Amino acid sequence: MSRRRQFEPIVISGIGLIASVGADRESVWKAVKAGKSGVRRMGERFQRDFGTGIAAPVDIELDYPGQVKHTTLSMRAAREALADADVDFSTVDLERFACAISGHMGDTGGVLYADGSPQVRDPALPPWWTQWLPNTSCVAVANHFGLHGPRISHSTACASGLIDIMAAADRIRDEHCDIALAGSSEVIHPLMAAGFQSMRVLASHDDPAQAPRPFDRNRNGFVMGEGAAMFVIERLSHAQRRGARIYAELAGTRLMSEGHHITSLDIESNGLAHLIDTTLRDADIAPYDVQYINAHGTGTHQNDIMESRGIRQALGPAADRIWVSSTKSMLGHLINAAGSVELAITTLALRDGFAPPTMNLTDPDPEVGLDCIPLVGRASNRMTNAVKISVAFGGHMAAVALRRWNDAAEGFGSGDFRRAAA
């Protein structure tokens, strides 16, 4: 029996989003719909410090000098999500309000230089040890808004964003809380950049915007990106009592692993196929009822082939009719925040009945064999169900199936939600 039948639905009532192409939810979504890229050539200092000449960073002023940029991004996205959900803190039980924000790189200002000498640090800045833990943003955001329910912070590589949203939903189902703020952020860090450079997985191109090329025969890796996405999720009855507007239902969620290799993927894709199949079963959604999949889509040959095989194996003949795209082609790979940012994009795609494109897909790889929406997005009044997939180093795999809350017959548009009856 699917959890949809066993438990009360968990719904999305608020979204906050920031990325290289926009400072808020609607500007990011507008840019993604139009195929705008946030990837650009970086200056000499950035290349010297981070070892990469192109990236998709977010230019943002910190809330205070010395603040970890992850926290700035998380706080901005959290404010937008809470405002979008119209949360009235005077009427919500803050003891039952969870906060789930993925782990991240902390303040490394206390790390010694290669010669063993200490870094000189401005004494007016916050001490580095107050911000070096991976749960720094989770604590800071929860404390700022007075959220005293469960606090959750996973570090599961590229699946982190999805997994913390799933964990928050599970805590609601387990009745540990009624409502949660959940998501993740990512900032390019020298240690992470150096690791990816050593693995030779970072893309290059004379035109930076064309470097990330998921599913294209001429792909050569991914581009690192920055950003954050936060969601307000809650039990349906809780949303109804608040008179909340609802984007979508978290209809099915599944978390699995594969023990193939720490970084390499099982090219036969049996694990991913099982993940997708069980996610749809959990959601009580048939393969032919899925209209859109937001793929992990890194733009590496290994990921693209493995993921496309997994989708086809799980969905069978229905895979020929499903639209698949990778928004990493515009936003870069946000690592810890990839799952949450791309789930936000997927939710907005359902809201507006518009599947975003895969940019730079000018020569589709025949091994992929799926409709990956090259260059121009597509509108449809059939978009009611979608799936977001995350595949991470370490064997972490996660998937979320979304069901659009209002019926397709009610029409699509940014202002069109079914308002829950009080």
Each residue's pLDDT tens digit, 43-52: 888 887 777 7
Q: Report DSSP state, residue 243.
A: T
Asked whether the predicted pLDDT for residue 260 surpasses 70, the reply is no
The answer to whether residue 372 is catalytic is: no
Beta bridge mates, 152: 100
**Residue type for position 131:** Q
Burial group, residue 49, by CB count within 10 angstroms (0-12, 13-18, 19+): middle
Q: Residue 414: which pLDDT band, with cuts at 50, 70 and 90?
A: very low
Active site (annotated) includes residue 296: yes
**Whether residue 158 lies in the annotated active site:** yes
16 and 26 in contact (C-beta within 8 Å)?
no
- Residue 415: what pLDDT? 38
pLDDT bin (cut points 50, 70, 90) of residue 256 is: confident
Q: What is the pLDDT of residues 95-152, one digit of tens each?
A: 999 999 999 988 887 776 667 777 777 888 888 888 989 999 999 999 999 999 999 9
Sign of CA dihedral 18, 157, 252, 149: negative
Residues whose CB is less than 8 angstroms from the CB of residue 94 and which lie 6 or more positions away in sequence, other chains included: 146, 147, 148, 149
Which candidate in 99, 138, 154, 158 is catalytic?
A: 158
Q: Residue 220: pLDDT band by 50, 70, 90 thresholds?
A: very high
Give the distance, in angstroms, between the CA of residue 288 and the centroid of all CA atoms in the same chain.
25
Tell me which of 70, 154, 238, 296 is the catalytic residue: 296
Average pLDDT over every residue of 397-414: 73
Catalytic residue among 104, 154, 189, 333: 333
* Total-model pTM: 0.92
pLDDT tens column, 4-56:
567 899 999 999 999 999 999 999 999 999 999 999 998 888 887 777 789 99
> Which pLDDT does position 79 carry in this prediction?
98
Q: Which domains does the chain have, with CATH numbers?
A: 3-245 (3.40.47.10), 250-405 (3.40.47.10)
* Least confidently predicted of 79-88, 343-352, 383-392: 383-392
Q: Is the pLDDT of residue 418 over 50?
A: no
273 is written with which tokens? 């196929």
